[in-house]
Chains A and B, each alone.
Chain A
């Protein structure tokens, strides 16, 4: 075969593959918006579910998810950032650093349902927290830890070495240097990681199944020791566990969840882009 023809055929196939990847994204967005948009109204997002969850809105799952992601980030962010500081500022190349990196990759690869098992056995049973926002958030915090560490470390290592040298030369200690010269300049990157982590935590279902998620609650949770409804679990319940659940509620819940998750990813992308443009060095 003429090699130009071969190249033409090969490139057409490659282009088709890229199209196959993009197509489902467009399809998912199209169907969710076309079928879910009409369900979403002020009432839908501000009313509690009622009538065996076939009527009313999805206020309690929305609030539950907000509580969950807030607690999750409060737990995961300090630990993740400190871990990233260790890797970028303190660690020397060697077997320990290599092992830490392997652990991060593995933590990111542990199936989400295994996190659910771990959270149930440790936080719910062993530490007697019961199914609660605290137990669910601790479980989700473990899950998003790799995202936060990796993005924070990326942000820390891009701070120029000269910033550290200048600070140390002025007599600052290592921690003073990290806190005053390095961290402030890495802040946008760290926030990006936190926002990505929130998006991830908001969409996860398997880790919260046995650690916090409630099928139905007549009231909003009052403390972190209460169970909570959550958007992803509500979507699961409405689409598989409640017979004859109105399609309007199902598509509306799915679209609300997707808007929150994609909204977080978009926010992270915007912060990252602005930071890159404004970088002072």
Chain B
């Protein structure tokens, strides 16, 4: 029978487990609270509209207009999405619906390997091989451009898009396919008009998580987008993203200076963006499970 010591042990451990269970919630709240604590003081030096819509980012002169950085992140992400969404979904359809088991056994580890390559290595490859190639092909002064960032980010977002889309396709009941084929539809008609539409919530979640991955990516874009904090007009110009700005400038700031607070405010904007994106993805996934 359980003695009193055993009962105490049981109670202590159960308490610890319950606390660990909610730890993730605590961490998310703590991260956001801290970003606000160290980010909000930037509004002692500037206003919200000047911060979000200001066209000049000159931290050394105390001018904190984050618009070029926000647009830089958006441009690079839009480019990455334009490349990775169609290719990623198509690859997921191929892996999930068409490829035989042998081909699948090659493709799935390849996608997992792509996901595992550290972003610094992707950035290094981009710096060494992609940027010089872009410079030559488009005859530019530098290959370190939004385009280089978009291409590299596209490949970093693809594994997320593929694996979650594939899960969504797998979750479509077999009867749907059988019903469509029995009516005389070809396999492609079945895929394009029955299976993919049935999996659309899960595919939406996959796209959102891919977008989140692209917006949050730091080291690769820091290395290959050229780091010019000016409002970008085309994909063939250097840009600077929000993430790259934090990575490049935080090391040089004085603790609790205006610049320090400005970088934390950018961190808070990033957190809110990815939080919203993940929330939408999560809701879409919940819907697709039902």
Q: CA of A187 to CA of B171 in the docked complex: distance in angstroms?
A: 29
Residue B117, interface by CB 8 Å? yes
Q: Is the CB of B34 within 8 A of A90?
A: no
Choose, from A24-32, A159-167, A217-225, the stretch at the interface. Answer: A24-32
Complex CA gap A83/B52 in Å reads 38
Interface members, chain B 121-153 (any A CB < 8 Å):
121-125, 127-129
Q: How many residues of A contact B (CB 8 A)?
A: 82
A224 to B6: give the CA distance in the assembly, Å. Answer: 36
Tell yes or no: A33 within 8 A of B by CB: no
Contact flags A1-33 to B (C-beta < 8 A → 1, else 0): 001101100110111011011101101100110
Query: Are A110's CB and B274's CB within 8 A?
Result: yes
- Stretch touching chain A among B40-48, B174-182, B211-219: B211-219
Tell me whether A103 and B34 are in contact (CB under 8 A).
no
The 0/1 profile, CB within 8 Å of B marked 1, for residues 69-84 of chain A is 0000000000100110
Do residues A235 and B91 form an inter-chain contact, with CB atoms below 8 A?
no
Give every chain B residue within 8 A of A173 (Cβ-Cβ). 2, 6, 10
Residues of B with C-beta under 8 A to A27:
125
B21 near A90 with CB under 8 A, answer yes
B281 at the interface (CB under 8 A from A): yes
Is A250 at the interface (CB under 8 A from chain B)? yes
* Mask: chain A, 92-106; 1 = CB below 8 Å from B; 0 = not: 000010011111111
User: In the complex the two chains form, what is the Cα distance from A236 to B119 in whole Å?
Assistant: 11
Residue-wise interface mask of A (133-161) relative to B, using a CB-CB cutoff of 8 A (1 in contact, 0 not): 00000000010011001000000000000
Q: B99 interface residue, CB < 8 Å from A?
A: yes
Q: Which residues of B contact A107 (CB under 8 A)?
A: 24, 27-28
Residues of A with C-beta under 8 A to B212: 109
Tell which of B55-63, B230-238, B244-252 binds the partner: B244-252
- Expressed in whole angstroms, the Cα–Cα distance for A79 and B18 within the complex equals 11
Chain A min CB distance to B163 (Å): 11
Q: What is the interface residue range for chain B against chain A?
A: 35 or more
Asked whether A3 lies within 8 Å of B117 as measured between CB atoms, the reply is: no
A85 nearest in chain B by CB position:
B17
Q: Identify which of residues 80-129 in chain B touch chain A, using a CB-to-CB cut-off of 8 Å.
A: 86-88, 90-91, 93-95, 98-99, 106-107, 109-114, 116-125, 127-129
A-B contact count (CB 8 A): 255
Interfacial chain A residues near B20, Cβ < 8 Å: 79, 82-83, 85-86
On chain A, the residues within 8 Å of B10 by CB distance are 173-175
Chain B positions within 8 Å of A235 at CB level: 120-121, 124
Is A258 touching B121 in the complex (CB atoms < 8 A)?
A: yes
- Evaluate whether A240 and B91 lie within 8 angstroms (CB atoms) in the complex, with A7-B187, A149-B24, A210-B250 already known: no
Q: Check A24 against B87 for contact (C-beta < 8 Å).
A: no
Once the chains bind, are B267 and A103 in contact (CB under 8 Å)? Answer: no
Roughly how many angstroms separate A85 CA and B17 CA in the complex, as a whole number? 7
Across the interface, which residues of A come within 8 angstroms of B183, CB to CB?
Answer: none
Query: Is A64 interfacial (CB 8 A cutoff)?
Result: no
Say how far B229's CB is from chain A's closest CB, in angstroms: 16
A236: chain B residues within 8 A (beta carbon)? 120, 123, 219, 223
Interface membership of B257, Cβ < 8 A: no
Q: Does B282 contact A (CB under 8 A)?
A: yes
Say whether A261 faces chain B, with CB atoms less than 8 Å apart: yes
Is B170 part of the contact surface with A, judged by Cβ < 8 Å? no
Contact in complex: A257, B120 (CB < 8 Å): yes
- A83–B243 Cα distance when bound, in Å, is 30
> Do A25 and B118 have beta carbons less than 8 Å apart?
no
The answer, among A83, A105, A109, A261, for a CB contact under 8 Å with B118, is A261
Which residue from B17, B113, B189 sits with its C-beta under 8 Å from A25?
B113
A53 to chain B, nearest CB (A): 16
Instruction: Known A18-B107, A104-B24, A110-B216; judge A203-B113 contact (CB<8 A).
Output: no
Can you list 17 pairs linking A and B with CB atoms under 8 Å apart?
A: A7-B186, A10-B191, A18-B107, A20-B91, A32-B121, A82-B20, A103-B27, A109-B275, A110-B28, A111-B270, A116-B246, A118-B31, A203-B117, A203-B120, A209-B247, A210-B251, A240-B127
Assuming A106-B274, A110-B28, what are 7 further A-B pairs, CB within 8 angstroms? A82-B20, A87-B21, A101-B282, A109-B212, A110-B216, A113-B216, A175-B10
Closest 10 CB pairs of A and B: A111-B216, A203-B118, A86-B21, A17-B90, A82-B20, A7-B188, A14-B94, A103-B24, A109-B278, A206-B218
Q: Which residues of A contact B (CB under 8 A)?
A: 3-4, 6-7, 10-11, 13-15, 17-18, 20-22, 24-25, 27-28, 31-32, 79, 82-83, 85-87, 89-91, 96, 99-107, 109-118, 120-122, 125, 142, 145-146, 149, 171, 173-175, 199, 202-206, 209-210, 232, 235-236, 239-240, 250, 254, 257-258, 261-262, 265, 269
